[in-house]
């Protein structure tokens, strides 16, 4: 360990290199990040549990969301390793942070883009979607997209251009990754907007175009109203006296 620390100390940082361990994280930031990590992992595990153990959810759409939950957990674990790296000066954790930074977030955005594309195709190409898109095809497409993304983002390390042992990240690498992530975010927004437009068009197409007049139903709670009698109390008294005099 001491030899590793001395080797790291002798490394000359480039102009755009940034050491991960030199970050300043306050106690409030540590508490906030820890709470976000714990709650996020718990909620994503609930989503995975529901999708895995519910057979009625074994469809392409739900497979995408289960995959998104998996990579969100990976992203949160990477955040936890970053905290361990900064707070405990752990070089082993730092290697994993450098290896997965920022590919974990890019993979998450790619899965979200594929999920949005899946929903868009299920609306605009419904017959083709039902006939061709299966769970096996979805899993294969996710595996290919994740594999290609991971190989491309980690190419500076396995080609020897950079090393995970330096515990540093370069701003140029991060800039390219952030640009790609911005593009994926725009793709997600455009696809969701198109989903909204196509769904609205379908609703207008299948809903009858005529409008019925609104029917207003009014409920009245009418109490029993006693009908007034034609014989008043004075007439009743007169009739009683007349009968009494006449029959006595």
Please check whether residue 84 lies inside any domain of the structure: yes
Q: What is the pLDDT of residues 111-122, one digit of tens each?
A: 999 999 999 999
Please check whether residue 168 lies inside any domain of the structure: yes
Range of the domain at 156: 2-206
Percent of the chain with pLDDT over 70: 77
SS3 content of the chain, % helix, strand, coil (to 5): 75, 0, 25
Please check whether residue 223 lies inside any domain of the structure: no
Q: What is the pLDDT of residues 125-178, one digit of tens each?
A: 989 999 999 999 999 999 999 999 999 988 888 888 888 888 888 888 888 889
Q: How far apart are CA 163 and CA 167, in angstroms?
A: 8
Please check whether residue 220 lies inside any domain of the structure: no
pLDDT at 20: 81
Please check whether residue 98 lies inside any domain of the structure: yes
144 membership: H or E segment, kind and range: helix 135-153
19 membership: H or E segment, kind and range: strand 17-19
Asked if residue 105 lies in contact with residue 185, where contact means CB atoms within 8 angstroms, the answer is: no
Please check whether residue 213 lies inside any domain of the structure: no
Using a cut of 0.85, tell me whether the model's pTM lies above it.
no
Please check whether residue 6 lies inside any domain of the structure: yes
The rounded mean pLDDT for the chain is 82
Cα separation of the two ends of the chain: 133
Please check whether residue 233 lies inside any domain of the structure: no
Total domains present in the chain: 1
CATH code for position 76: 1.20.1070.10
Q: What is the pLDDT of residues 186-209, one digit of tens each?
A: 999 999 999 999 998 888 877 665
pLDDT at 99: 85
């Amino acid at each position: 360990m001491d030899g590793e620390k001395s080797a790291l100390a002798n490394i000359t940082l480039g102009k755009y290199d940034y050491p991960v361990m030199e970050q300043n994280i306050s106690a409030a930031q540590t508490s906030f990040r820890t709470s976000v990590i714990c709650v996020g992992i718990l909620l994503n595990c609930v989503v995975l549990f529901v999708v895995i153990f519910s057979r009625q959810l074994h469809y392409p759409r739900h497979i995408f969301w289960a995959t998104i939950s998996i990579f969100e957990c990976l992203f949160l674990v990477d955040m936890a390793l970053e905290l361990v790296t900064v707070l405990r000066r752990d070089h082993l954790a730092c290697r994993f942070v450098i290896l997965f930074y920022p590919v974990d977030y890019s993979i998450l955005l790619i899965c979200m883009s594929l999920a949005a594309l899946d929903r868009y195709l299920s609306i605009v190409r419904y017959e083709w979607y039902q006939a061709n898109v299966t769970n096996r095809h979805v899993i294969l497409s996710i595996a290919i997209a994740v594999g290609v993304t991971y190989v491309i983002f980690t190419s500076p390390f396995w080609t020897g251009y950079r090393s995970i042992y330096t515990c540093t990240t370069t701003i140029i690498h991060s800039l390219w990754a952030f640009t790609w992530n911005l593009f994926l975010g725009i793709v997600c927004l455009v696809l969701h907007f198109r989903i909204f437009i196509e769904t609205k068009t379908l609703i207008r197409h299948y809903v009858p175009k005529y409008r019925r007049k609104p029917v207003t139903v009014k409920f009245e709670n009418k109490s029993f109203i006693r009908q007034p009698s034609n014989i008043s109390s004075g007439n009743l008294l007169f009739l009683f006296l007349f009968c009494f005099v006449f029959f006595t």
